[in-house]
Structure formats: structure tokens, C-alpha cells
Chain A
Amino acid sequence: MEWIQQFFNGISLGSIYALIALGYTMVYGIIKLINFAHGDVFMIGAFTGFFAISVLNLSFLPALLLAMIVCAILGVTIERIAYKRLRNSTRIAALITAIGVSLLIEYIFIYFRGAQPEAYPEVLAKETYNIFGAKISSQSVLILCVTVILMILLQFIVHRSKIGKAMRAVAYDQDAAKLMGINVDNTISITFAIGSALAGAAGVIFGIYYTKIDPLMGIIPGLKAFIAAVLGGIGIIPGAMVGGFLLGIVETVVSASGFSLWRDAAAFIILILILIFRPSGIFGKNAKEKV
């Protein structure tokens, strides 16, 4: 029953990746930018949650909500200050800026609070269920529930609401959307807000599940989530979810097979294979430059 256990661990890890990947994919879809700072938004989310629980004595849901709000504001601020004026420059210039923003957040945070890790308080009662002989903690069930609810909510926003329609329009053709009277700037900001809020939620969930957080915790999950987004087909929302879960399961299987030191390498190998053989990802369509 070892494998069912691993499968559930993989799902838990995967749901964190998926939540972060959604933000990557939404931002890439709308302004073709790999938002490197997204992993650091996730880190800020984890610390906000930590602060809310241990200092403000909030319970899980209010803490989650607070982290999401703080991250949404942070995401929009980054977009307005750094990325907005880069819309007409090269994608490489935008990418370099994003790398800069990412490092800036990390090291300003370290500068003011230090680099030491923090132990996440236990905010949820821990119970263990026995399913087919596998031990499943109540936490991983809760994580899965929260993730699924957020994803359904996101699908609803993107496909049923007016703002979702505007987001899809801007992603498809920014100029045409502008001509149709869509406020492109606001739409992009809202995309950042939603994506960052999801990363914030992922941060809190990560803290609860793995119990240890630190200022550089965003780098690796951020990169992995990006890989998940590429795996599913960047710019495609369901792709990010599937990619996230898939990557989580693959990594857990690699670790469980006794190659835990190779876990990170596995993710990067997947990335390179996907980029070389199917750069549009599992769900993507191929596009070629127009001559």
C-alpha cells in the first residue's frame, strides 16, 4: 500500500505546484512574461499566513484569506511598478527585470528580518485516516479540498464572469481588446491579482504541510511550478493544474524509489524533454513564427 501513500503525497505536493503554476500560466498567457517573482509572492504568502496565525491568532481560513489579499496587492504592485512599462520592450528585457524583482524581494526580506527559517504553527488538528492501509493525514485531505475549490472558483471567474471574458480577450489580442473598449491595464492587473492570490494560498498550504518556511523557499517551488505550467501547456489554465499534479506525482515517485537527491533533476529533465519534443505542452497547439 506504499504506492497509494506515495500517490497521496504526490497529490498534496502537486496541488501546491498547481496553485503556483496557475499564476505563471495566467500571466504568461496575457503578457507573455515568465514572472520569475511569482515564487517570491508564494513565499510572502507563507510568511503572511505565519504572521496571521502566530501573531494575530487567526484560524486557518482567515489566515488563508489574509495571505491571499496581501499577495494580490503585492502582485499588482509589482506589475504596476516594474512590468507595466516593459510591455513594448523585448521579452528578454522583461525576463531580466522579472529575475531582478525576484531577487530584490528575497533580499529585501532577508535584509529586514534575517534569513533564518521559521516553524509553522499547527493550526489544524492532525488526524490520520487509514485508507486501504495508507496513512492519509487530515491535512492532505484539506489541502486537496482547498485546491479544488480554488480551481473551480478560478474556472468560474475565467469562463463565466465578465472580467474572465476580458482576460481571455486581452490574452488573444491586446490591441483588438483595447478597440473593443476593454480596459487592458486593469485586466492585466486583475490577472496578476488573481494569480498572486493563488500563490499566496499555496504559500499557507505549503507552510502547514511542510511546517518549515524561509525567505528563499520560493525559488525551487517557483521553478517547479513554472515547469508544471510548461508541461501542461503554458497559457492554458487546465494545463497548469494537470501539469502541477503530474509533476508532484513524478517527484514523489522518484524520491520514493530511492533517488531523493535526483528529485530536482527529474523536474528539470522533464522540462527539457518537453521543451525539445513538445514545446507547446500537453494541451497546447503548435505555433510557428510568421514569415
Chain B
Amino acid sequence: MKMINRFWKFMLLAIIIYTIIQLLITTEVFNLFYTNTLITIAINIILAVSLHLVIGITGQFSIGHAGFLAVGAYISAIVTMKLALPFPLALFAAGVIAAVAGLIVGIPTLRLRGDYLAIATLGFAEIIRIIFLNIDYVGGAAGMVVSRTTNWTISYICLLITLIVIINFTNSRHGRACVAIRENEIAADAMGINTTYYKVVAFVIGSFFAGIAGGLYAHNFYIIQPASFGFLKSFDILIFVVLGGLGSLSGAVLSAILLTIVSTFLQDYAETRMIIYSLILILVMLYRPQGLMGTREITDFFTSRKKNALKGGENL
């Protein structure tokens, strides 16, 4: 019962936030620039949380998340622009195909550990990018023109769905199995957990939502190009998870919000932005490897640190 109660509290809060922001938009207190920033924040939170499931919860160090973002972006663009089907359907298709890509990438690579896995996912993301680069149907290097359909409401709905699914998954026996893999893979195996299965499941769910984010991303600009989905994009997503604290969902959300705002202000100073990002990464690793939040959740500060929320360390 308590669980159900928490859910409605969460929904209530979500609706309040939505109403306030929607009011600000309709009364034009928030101009186009702010609205755009809000959409970007929503997309980045979806990306951060989906990667958090893979890295923070399951402990599988993937640095190729932009690959699935690319799949989602291109698939959704094909569905709306080439097949002229509705946008929500395009988003769903983007998620499904990205999940399939996650399955194809995950099954062979997730047997690898640590830095080998990192490099393999990086490699796959590059291969995905190069594939799009070579397909004339989607415009090759010149890219593909996409009409701007993404708005605040649909981004917010996608964000909520992502959060609910990933929180529910994490707080169940399945999420615990994933955390067990992060904490000690050999012991997890010895406790009867099919480690490969759960690694792949986490990876596929993560890819699904990266795909949805890709759909939103593609329809938030007027053009998508393979060059936007390179290693630097994966790095942008990685930094949300690392700065927030490996294992903390609210940490990933907070740092996604924070860094999106920072980079919006530094839009015209790309080098400065990259210098700040890379310094953050180095300094966090050197002086606070557990990130802003460690493995705590923001709710821990309100509840008297009881509830056995799934927590875990930074040992990957």
C-alpha cells in the first residue's frame, strides 16, 4: 500500500511541475529560448537515466550510448519524414529499433568486463555512425531534414514514462539482480542470477529509452547528421552519470539539469564548455569519485534513511 501511495505522490508532484511550467509557457513568461532549454533538459534526463541503468545500476561501463541515440533519431526521422506516419508512433518505433540494436550490440559485448567493454561499446557506436554515414537513403554525411515536432508536453510525457519504468525496474527483484552484478558478479552468479541475461536486459531497456530520446532529439532540430552522434555525444551523456554519482538516479537527473543549463549558456563558447566538462570529469574522479550524490537518492534526505532503496558503491 505504501508503495502505491508513493506512486501517487510522485504523479501529483509531476502534474504540479508540468502545470506550472505549462502556465509559464502559455503566459509567455518563458520565451522560446527557455522552452527549448526545457526540452533539451528533458531529453538529457532521459539519456542520463537510461545510461544510469546500465552503468550506475548494473555496473556495465558503456561509453557508446550515442549510438543508440543515433538509431532512435534516424528511425524516427524515417517514420515521420519518409513514411509520413504520426510522431508518437515514430517515437515508439525509435525506442523499439534502438532496443533491438541494444540487443545485437549487448549479447556479444556484455561478456567483456571493465575497460574492454567500454572500448567495445565505443567501437559499436562508431560502427553505427559509419553505417548511417554510408546510407544514401538517410542523406549520408549531409544528413536528413526533419520537421520540428518535439514540444514540451511530449518531451515531459516521455520523461515521466522513462523515470517510472526505470525506477520500478530498479526497485524490484530484477533491479536487485542488476545491482548484485555490479557489486560482485561472481557472487551474483553463485546466487542463481543469470548475469548475462540481466546485463542484456538492462542494456536493452537503456537502449530503448536512448532511442526515444533520439526521436525527440531529431525532431527538436531541423536536421540530423551522423557527425552529431560521435564519441563526444557519448561523452556528454557519460558525464551526467559520473558527475551525479554512479548508482544514484536523482544524481543523474540533477547533473543532467545542471550541465544542460551550463552548456546552454556556453553555447557560443564550445571550447570553454569542453574545457569545463573535461575538468569536471577529472576533478570528480580525483577528489570525489562517488560523484555529487554517491549512491544516495534525493529522497534519502527526506525519509529518515530507512527504506531499503537500492544503493551501491562506485566499484564497477
Contact = CB atoms under 8 A, between A and B. Distances in A.
B218 interface: no
Interface stretch (A4-12, A88-96, A163-171, A237-245): A88-96
Contacts of A97: 281-282, 285-286
Interface in B111-145: 111-112, 114-116, 118-120, 122-124, 126-127, 130-131, 133-134
Interface in A267-281: 268-269, 271-272, 275-276, 279
Nearest to A105: B278
Contacts of A108: 275
Interface stretch (A131-139, A190-198, A258-266): A258-266
Interface in A80-114: 82, 85-86, 89-97, 99-104, 106-108, 110-111
- Which of B124, B238, B272, B286 gathers the greatest number of chain A CB atoms within 10 Å? B286
Given A85-B286, A86-B286, A275 B131 contact: no
B289 interface: yes
Contact of B186 (A107, A265, A291): A291
Interface in B140-195: 186
B114 A91 contact: yes
B108 interface: yes
A97 B281 CA distance: 6
Main secondary structure of the interface of A (DSSP, over half): helix
B111 A264 contact: no
B119 A34 contact: yes
B282 A104 contact: yes
B271 A111 contact: yes
A261 B127 CA distance: 11
Contacts of B285: 86, 89, 93-94, 96-97, 100
A101 B282 contact: yes
A111 B278 CA distance: 14
B98 to A, nearest CB: 19
Interface string B254-298: 000000000000000001101101111110011001000000000
Nearest to B121: A272
B22 interface: no
Contacts of B112: 275-276, 279
A42 interface: no
- Which of A96, A103, A111, A227 gathers the greatest number of chain B CB atoms within 10 Å? A96
Interface string A62-87: 00000000000000000000100110
Given A93-B314, A96-B242, A291-B186, A101 B278 contact: yes
Given A86-B285, A86-B286, A261 B279 contact: no
A272 B275 contact: no
Contact of A272 (B120, B134, B286, B289): B120
Given A90-B316, A92-B61, A265-B130, A103 B119 contact: no
Given A92-B114, A93-B289, A271 B275 contact: no
A230 B112 CA distance: 13
A157 to B, nearest CB: 26
Interface string B72-104: 000000000000000000000000000000000
A261 B133 CA distance: 8
Given A82-B286, A95-B61, A272-B123, A107 B275 contact: yes
B37 interface: no
Contacts of B127: 265, 268-269, 272
A226 interface: yes
Given A97-B281, A269-B127, A90 B315 contact: yes
A213 interface: no
Contact of B274 (A90, A103, A261): A103
A289 B186 contact: yes
Interface in A107-149: 107-108, 110-111
A107 B274 contact: yes
8 contacts: A82-B282, A93-B289, A103-B235, A103-B281, A110-B271, A219-B231, A223-B122, A223-B126
Interface of B: 61, 63, 108-109, 111-112, 114-116, 118-120, 122-124, 126-127, 130-131, 133-134, 186, 231, 235, 238, 242, 271-272, 274-275, 277-282, 285-286, 289, 314-316
Interface of A: 34, 82, 85-86, 89-97, 99-104, 106-108, 110-111, 219, 223, 226-227, 230, 261-262, 264-265, 268-269, 271-272, 275-276, 279, 289, 291
Given A99-B281, A269-B123, 19 more contacts: A86-B285, A90-B316, A91-B115, A92-B316, A93-B285, A100-B278, A111-B275, A219-B231, A230-B119, A261-B133, A264-B126, A265-B130, A269-B127, A272-B109, A272-B123, A275-B119, A276-B111, A276-B120, A279-B112
